[in-house]
Structure 1
Amino acid sequence: MSGKPASHRLPSPQSESRVSAAMEEEHLGAAAVVGKKFCSEEERELTVRKTSLFFPGDGFAAYDHKTGELIFRVDTYARREPSFSDHHLLLMDPDGHPILTLRRKWPSLHQRWEAFVGERSEGQKPLFAVRRSSIFGRDRSCFAVEVHQSGGSEEEYRIEGSFAQRCCRVLYEGGGGEEAVILAEIKRKVDACSQVVLGRDVFSLCLRPRCDAAFAMALVIVLDKITGDNDDVILEEQVSSSAEDPSPIIDQQKPADH
């Protein structure tokens, strides 16, 4: 990162903290998408592990980074459905109770996915939808998220970065020209003992205070379904950052702790 000119003063950490806290408080209502029980007043980190290495999105397990407790798991009905266009995935709690049904909408040039509360029933309206912002160029790496409110209004979020590189973040767009707020980030996971960067089958989902964990986990599943690990849209600065990072990378290694 290039240094700032001496004439420019950076805001103090205390000032940045106050601004951040005020923005988080202002957007409290936007954070609970699936339910308040999935929101925490503190920052959280989930360790996400792909349980199927052959089909994108077919299996995930998410654990609390500190306790190792299983928080979410994912199952798919894609290979059991008679019609490929009707396949869907279930985001479940540790006991196997469905939280969200995720379903690809056909046809859709922007690869639109819709999320339904619980186990989807015929005629049920989606809670939110995710799609590519564009089908051309670098904007293909950005995603738009529309959350449908009960009163008919919509909340807008966006996802920017490269999921294939496990380097992206979820932002709440707000409205009326307000600055976007970071709700969650997907990052490469580093083994605590060896300080080795783990492979892409194990990564971190970092949640800001009041972020809906079920909502964030659902976005992870959809991103994996749309881009997989071979997305050809990678931002130049991320490629440069990877090239400069000398840390060794080990693929398909399981973390020592969850």
Structure 2
Amino acid sequence: MVNIPPPAASSSGAVINPLFCVGYPLDLAFTTKAPGDKSGQLSTVDSSGNTIFRAKRLAWSGFTQLVDLAGHPVVTMKAKFRTMHDRWQVFAGESTEPKDLLFSLKRTSTFQLHDEWVVFLAANTKEEECDFKITGSYRKKNYSIYRGNSSLAVAQMIKEHKLAGLSLGKHAYGASISPNCDYAFVCALAAIFHELNSGDPQTLGAVAAVAAGQAAGAAAGAAAG
């Protein structure tokens, strides 16, 4: 099992679980070449070189899960099709039921000169103001996660990770996370952006298959009506 740090004194930053909020700054690294892992999926590595999370793609469904070292799903992430803003939904554990929704992620605009995304927590049903905003560039491994529309950055992705002495491959990158920020939330976002930018034919094929299935179901329902 993953050695999860003790909960922080304040869990106000929890998005997924207070267990993933710690009262000190945290540096993590992301790599597709984690020690002992040949899956090629995105892994999160801590300062001791331990893999704490791994992205697990479920090709048959088009979903991606963030799992712990024992393989237990922490969240399940899926793209919401037929939307203009590349909306993703993130659910607790292995569920995709509306009652287990944790948060949604979407682009602020269909046409963008720079990447900008907003996060709405499940309780924020009106979505008049975002709970988090993400700006920067995943491709350049340089973006920041802000609390709401403020200038308060709770986490930053950086091109060069800070985990000295670890060999994680030339494409490894890092994240610097502020105290009491839910680091599993940051890792889930990294997994989604990795999927969006991977260009993996298997991923794209699964997404297309699910979208086609949904469209066929909608058409059948319309015909029946």
Q: Same fold (TM over 0.5)?
A: yes
Greater mean alpha carbon deviation, residues 162-171 or residues 43-52: 43-52
Query: Which residue number in structure 1 is paired with residue 120 of structure 2?
Result: 146
SS of 1:127's equivalent in the other structure is strand
In the alignment, is residue 224 of structure 1 matched against residue 194 of structure 2? yes
- Letter matched to residue 34 of structure 1: I
Query: Which residue number in structure 2 is paired with residue 76 of structure 1?
Result: 57
- Letter matched to residue 186 of structure 1: M
Query: Which residue number in structure 2 is paired with residue 136 of structure 1?
Result: 111
The verdict on how the C-alpha distance between 1:43 and 1:90 changes in structure 2, with shifts beyond 3 A counting, is: same
State the identity as a percent.
24
The verdict on how the C-alpha distance between 1:190 and 1:36 changes in structure 2, with shifts beyond 3 A counting, is: closer
Stretches of 4+ aligned residues off by more than 6 angstroms: none
Identify which of 191, 211, 224 aligns with 2:181: 211
| 1:1-258 matches, cutoff 5 A | 30-51=12-33, 59-65=41-47, 67-78=48-59, 81=60, 86-139=61-114, 141-149=115-123, 156-173=131-148, 179-189=150-160, 192=164, 199=170, 201-228=171-198
Contact 1:170–1:184 under 8 Å retained in 2: yes
The verdict on how the C-alpha distance between 1:206 and 1:136 changes in structure 2, with shifts beyond 3 A counting, is: same
CA distance in 1 between partners of 2:92 and 2:46 (Å): 23
Structure whose CA Rg is larger:
1
Contact 2:88–2:104 under 8 Å retained in 1: yes
Gaps of 5+ in 1: 1-24, 53-57, 230-258
The verdict on how the C-alpha distance between 1:122 and 1:29 changes in structure 2, with shifts beyond 3 A counting, is: closer
Query: Which residue number in structure 1 is paired with residue 218 of structure 2?
Result: none
Give the alignment's TM-score, normalised by structure 1.
0.63
Displacement of 1:36: 0.8
SS of 2:111's equivalent in the other structure is coil
Gaps of 5+ in 2: 1-8, 35-39, 200-225
Displacement of 1:124: 4.0
Task: Give per-residue Cα distances to partners, 1:132-178, cap 9 Å, x unaligned.
Answer: 11111315x101111123x867661110000100000111116xxxx
Contact 2:91–2:97 under 8 Å retained in 1: no
The verdict on how the C-alpha distance between 1:43 and 1:122 changes in structure 2, with shifts beyond 3 A counting, is: closer
- Letter matched to residue 216 of structure 1: V
Query: Which residue number in structure 1 is paired with residue 6 of structure 2?
Result: none
